[in-house]
Amino acid sequence: MAQRLRRFHRWHALVMSVVVIMAAGSGLVHTWMSHHQPPPPAARPAAGVDLAAATLSVQGNQVTLRSGDTEPKLGSVQREPARVSFRLPG
């Protein structure tokens, strides 16, 4: 029984050490990527749209913004984002 427990302990320790090394490597790679990626695009203010009177409607994959009498179409909705940035400004 003791021999079996030792063998299990060795394999378990090996697997856990690989997990720890992968977690450390992930942290290093994320730090490196944040320094070498281009900055995210700047946020643009919603100029010319009265957001208090605006309504948004979705039909199928079309999004429509209504602000007063005008009805500009915003285009098709992408189901999956092409690129997402979670970096904080500054």
- Global pTM? 0.39
Each residue's pLDDT expressed in tens, for the chain with a length of 90 residues = 899 999 999 999 999 999 999 999 999 998 888 888 887 788 776 566 566 666 667 776 676 666 655 544 455 555 555 555 566 665
Q: Which residues of 11-33 are buried (b: 16+ CB within 10 A; e: fewer)?
A: eeeeeeeeeeeeeeeeeeeeeee
